[in-house]
Amino acid sequence: MKVEFSAFPKAFSGNVAVFVAADKQLLATAQAADEKAGGALTRALAAGRFTGAKGQTLTVLGNTGDIDRLLLLGVGKGRELDARAAEGLGGVIAAEANAAGHKAVTVVVDPVKGSRLTPGQIAARIALGVRLRNYRFDKYKTKDKPEQKLSLEKLTVVVNGPADARKAYAQLEPTIDAVFFTRDLVSEPANLLYPVEFARRAKELTKLGVKVEVLGEAEMKKLGMHVLLGVGQGSERESQLLVMRWMNGPKNQAPVALIGKGVTFDTGGISLKPAGGMEDMKWDMGGAGAVTGAMRLIAGRKAKANVIAVCALVENMPDGNAQRPGDVVKSMSGQTVEVINTDAEGRLILCDAMWYAQEKFKPQAMVELSTLTGAIIVSLGHERAGLFSNNTPLSNKLRAAGSQIGEKLWRMPLGPKYDKMIDSDIADMKNVSNGRDGGSITAAQFLQRFVQEGVAWAHLDIAGVAWSSKGDSTTPKGATAYGVRLLDKLIADNYER
């Protein structure tokens, strides 16, 4: 998709979107269009429920000169128009354009009184929102009709000071690349994206300066990662440990570690899942996808920070060699685990990945993302990810980052009584507690047992937000890439020098 920023022309043509503020306040370009059309816009506003509230739209046809279709775009109250809101407006424009079958759209950015953003910043964020919304994973579609495909090919953003807008947009382009990279990973079917293939695609990041290392099963066995390896032993696909390093900060600064769960397909193993909906388990690697995308974004914008990422990549399958309920396995940390349920596999692969990251890189903080439990969806639905942490400052940093870019978090409890629920009679711990009570919490307690003393740690359970059945203003239905921008914002605001 082509994006251009231009100064105000003498006249507008084609498909044009203009701003209307709250309480039906026509901004400059909309006012001019209304005068030229003999008050047609004012009459259209009076005839319906459109008020100019944020995200509202109203299409006006005819009596607008060379303009084929005029889209009145509600920007709401000026003080509400922040970066996230501007991106949302872009998403609305993309959705409207594709629904109408438009190939090209012009959006006019007039100054919005009360907004802290300059017109150039608003223009750049709108363009970002259009790009993020204008995504569709259709590489395997062969018979789509034209009306089923995305039509929007060109966006022109008209703004005073287009050079400033271009500069601001250029700084945002790595975000688009990273989000699309993660959406593609998470959307791929499991027969085409398995641990080795995931690792191969991650090696593309070397072009951006990321150092990528991949450990195979033999290397992990030498390291004592028997808990991780146990999950993948029923699959013909070899498990992998993907290690990525971006060390562009001060030499004496300890890195931040990002850990990702990468179960490229999860049948549940011997504790087999029901057939209905099992196809969704191709995105059980959403945590690893987000972490890898975040590394792409951090490197893409040349962040002045030290960040390492470790992703555990496995396929959880049932066969004659699969791990059994009741098996006891030893972790890299030396702690032993009684496997009660082979479908609680995410915590098993993460514990070894977390321990490896701490032993190898001595991070100052560690943030782990995983589509870990269905229980978090029961608790929080699909609006927020669950946040578990042993460190309130880190928790607050994550929540602040998430609120700014629209990836919301809700802090959940941890405590000794929850921890006791995973004590085992024959091993150091079991991977699930008895019953379903507090399922997302006991999963987090399991992971916390593998956090070394002095390490600030956070676990984000993204099971409810990694995939969307509806989408939102900047995310179409499907893979959301939740976590990519959140992690990048965390690094940008707190760990760059």
Confidence (pTM): 0.97
SS3 percent helix, strand, coil of the chain, rounded to 5, is 40, 20, 40
- The bridge status of strand 328-330 relative to strand 336-338 is antiparallel
Sheet holding 385-389, edge to edge: 211-215, 240-247, 306-316, 256-266, 365-370, 456-461, 385-389, 409-411
- Identify the pLDDT of residue 65: 77
> H-helix or E-strand containing 386?
strand 385-389
Q: Which residue out of 24, 136, 201, 273 is catalytically annotated? A: 273
Q: Which residue out of 183, 301, 347, 485 is catalytically annotated? A: 347
For the question of residue 273 being annotated catalytic, the response is: yes
- Identify the pLDDT of residue 176: 98
DSSP assignments along 44-106, one per residue: HHHTSS----TT-EEEEESSSTTEEEEEEEEEE-GGG--HHHHHHHHHHHHHHHHHHT-SEEE
Report CA Rg, the chain.
25
- Overall size of the chain counted in residues: 497
Per-residue pLDDT of the chain (497 residues; tens, 9 = 90+): 999 999 999 999 999 999 999 999 999 999 999 999 999 999 999 999 999 999 999 999 877 778 999 999 999 999 999 999 999 999 999 999 999 999 999 999 999 999 999 999 999 999 999 999 999 999 999 999 999 999 999 999 999 999 999 999 999 999 999 999 999 999 999 999 999 999 999 999 999 999 999 999 999 999 999 999 999 999 999 999 999 999 999 999 999 999 999 999 999 999 999 999 999 999 999 999 999 999 999 999 999 999 999 999 999 999 999 999 999 999 999 999 999 999 999 999 999 999 999 999 999 999 999 999 999 999 999 999 999 999 999 999 999 999 999 999 999 999 999 999 999 999 999 999 999 899 999 999 999 999 999 999 999 999 999 999 999 999 999 999 999 999 999 999 999 98
* Beta carbons within 10 angstroms of residue 420's beta carbon: 11
How far, in Å, are 295, 337, 369, 395, 399 from residue 303 at the CA level?
10, 38, 21, 22, 21
**Structural contact between residues 485 and 473, judged by C-beta atoms closer than 8 angstroms:** no
- Identify the pLDDT of residue 348: 98
For the question of residue 330 being annotated catalytic, the response is: no
- Identify the pLDDT of residue 61: 86
